[in-house]
Chain A
């Protein structure tokens, strides 16, 4: 195979890693804007998102070009096919960050509804899942990818706890309903991001092992 094709595959990997890295940074900023109640960080999140969208377009094109010109098979094919699915996941994570940052700006001037710790834990765990999923991709670490998938249940539990807590508070104090419903949506956004990290981890496992691990109940045992 020509060197060109190998170069293109390498560029795809690098581009994907760079895009993921930027989103990891956005996750950090989002979390801090929420915890430190800083509007300036929230603004930076929105600014970064435009560049993520640009990278999405570029990487999409690289994938299609690789398919059309390189006709990849086996591991290469799995990489390109999975990249096509990972790219929109990462882009969606960026969008969720923007949503959270926008609500952070609404909430920042107002009194706290919830002790900061609960939301902090949800945010950190979710951010760590994304980081690990990306690390699993970069390092080709199947065990790490499996750990990400396993961690999703924990995040779901955290989210449900926060949701129930907020419902209770809204019942107790109707004045906090607006703020609390914003917070529910923020928590929901974190939870979605964790789902996306799980999806990425599943794609990483497909790239590494050639086996689709989604919806295990629909699949024949290997």
Chain B
């Protein structure tokens, strides 16, 4: 028997091992006009883990996600009460430009700008005044490498981003978000428009990215939540029903409602 089999596998430790919550929502309520979308959700999102948020359509999971970089404010005037924190700081009091740099977002539909691949990734750094050619080149390469897209596009950075496949476009959007060096990445059903192979590549990516980032992903796909996340939170009608380690939620959920939802016997 070769010796190597006797050697214990080395677990890759996260770069910043920490147990504290990076994001925290406390009794978060969000209402658009008379319609209350979130009805007092409290959730801690630990650093360097992938937290999946699941729930039926209209349960408020997307709104919940968007609150963490306040992009929900684009969908109209919302009344927000309760507290949302990033590293212990009140997120509603932060300047949104700073907040959104630190908390990046990837959307449901790949949404590259109608610009070249290079300009798409360089867009973020340029917003913050990065002008030097070598700085920009570095940021673009870094973003594309982390999004596992560099090898596929390095010879055609000047080509239009809209010529890429759907999966590549979504990874470009991830690269674009990573280029401003965020601490948190919010993903709103990032694979719902992708085929299984492109989906698998993105899920693989999550695994690598969480060493440096905290990731929150909203998904409709139970299997994706089970495969890709460390923790799972189940929202229903604007309320948090249950949250916990993903393996517990998927083998032995605590609430019958969670059980019904993940086994597809809901309603």
Indicate whether A and B are direct neighbours in the complex (CB within 8 Å): yes
A: residues with CB less than 8 A from B are 1, 5, 71-78, 209-211
Q: Assess the A76–B252 pair: CB atoms within 8 A.
A: no
Chain A residues within an 8 Å CB radius of B259: 74-75
Q: At the interface, yes or no: B133 with Cβ under 8 Å from chain A? A: no
Chain B residues within an 8 Å CB radius of A76: 263
Chain B residues within an 8 Å CB radius of A211: 252
**Nearest-Cβ distance from residue A219 to partner chain B, whole angstroms:** 14
**Nearest-Cβ distance from residue B220 to partner chain A, whole angstroms:** 14
B: residues with CB less than 8 A from A are 222-223, 226, 250-253, 258-259, 262-265
Closest residue on chain B to residue A1 by CB atoms: B264
Q: A72-B263, A75-B259 are in contact. List 13 more A-B contacts (CB 8 A).
A: A1-B264, A71-B223, A73-B250, A73-B263, A74-B250, A74-B252, A74-B253, A74-B258, A74-B263, A76-B263, A78-B252, A210-B251, A210-B252
Chain A residues within an 8 Å CB radius of B264: 1, 5
A78–B259 CA distance with the chains assembled, in angstroms = 12
Mostly, the B contact residues are helix
**Nearest-Cβ distance from residue A39 to partner chain B, whole angstroms:** 48
How many A-B pairs have beta carbons closer than 8 Å: the answer is 32
Chain B residues within an 8 Å CB radius of A210: 251-252
Most buried by A among B222, B223, B262, B263: B263
Chain B residues within an 8 Å CB radius of A73: 222, 226, 250-251, 262-263
Chain A residues within an 8 Å CB radius of B250: 73-74, 77
Contact of A78 among B222, B226, B251, B265 (CB under 8 A): B251
**Nearest-Cβ distance from residue A58 to partner chain B, whole angstroms:** 24
Chain B residues within an 8 Å CB radius of A74: 250-253, 258-259, 262-263
A102–B158 CA distance with the chains assembled, in angstroms = 81
**Nearest-Cβ distance from residue B156 to partner chain A, whole angstroms:** 38
Given A73-B222, A74-B259, A75-B259, A1 and B251 touching (CB < 8 A)? no
Q: Assess the A1–B222 pair: CB atoms within 8 A.
A: no
A94–B101 CA distance with the chains assembled, in angstroms = 66
Please name the 5 residue pairs, one residue from A and one from B, whose CB atoms are nearest each other, closest first: A210-B252, A1-B264, A73-B250, A74-B259, A73-B262
Most buried by A among B251, B253, B259: B251
Given A210-B251, A210-B252, A75 and B263 touching (CB < 8 A)? yes
**Nearest-Cβ distance from residue A54 to partner chain B, whole angstroms:** 30
A92–B258 CA distance with the chains assembled, in angstroms = 37
A159–B265 CA distance with the chains assembled, in angstroms = 47
A1–B258 CA distance with the chains assembled, in angstroms = 14
Chain A residues within an 8 Å CB radius of B252: 74, 78, 209-211
Closest residue on chain A to residue B254 by CB atoms: A210
A10–B230 CA distance with the chains assembled, in angstroms = 31
Chain B residues within an 8 Å CB radius of A77: 250-251
**Nearest-Cβ distance from residue B225 to partner chain A, whole angstroms:** 10
Given A71-B223, A73-B251, A211-B252, A1 and B262 touching (CB < 8 A)? no
Chain A residues within an 8 Å CB radius of B226: 73
A5–B253 CA distance with the chains assembled, in angstroms = 20
Chain A residues within an 8 Å CB radius of B222: 71, 73
Contact of B265 among A1, A71, A209 (CB under 8 A): A1
Most buried by A among B223, B226, B258, B262: B262
A-B contact pairs, 23 of them (CB 8 A): A1-B264, A1-B265, A5-B264, A71-B222, A71-B223, A73-B226, A73-B250, A73-B251, A73-B262, A73-B263, A74-B250, A74-B251, A74-B252, A74-B253, A74-B258, A74-B259, A74-B262, A75-B263, A77-B250, A77-B251, A209-B252, A210-B252, A211-B252
A217–B63 CA distance with the chains assembled, in angstroms = 45
A105–B223 CA distance with the chains assembled, in angstroms = 54
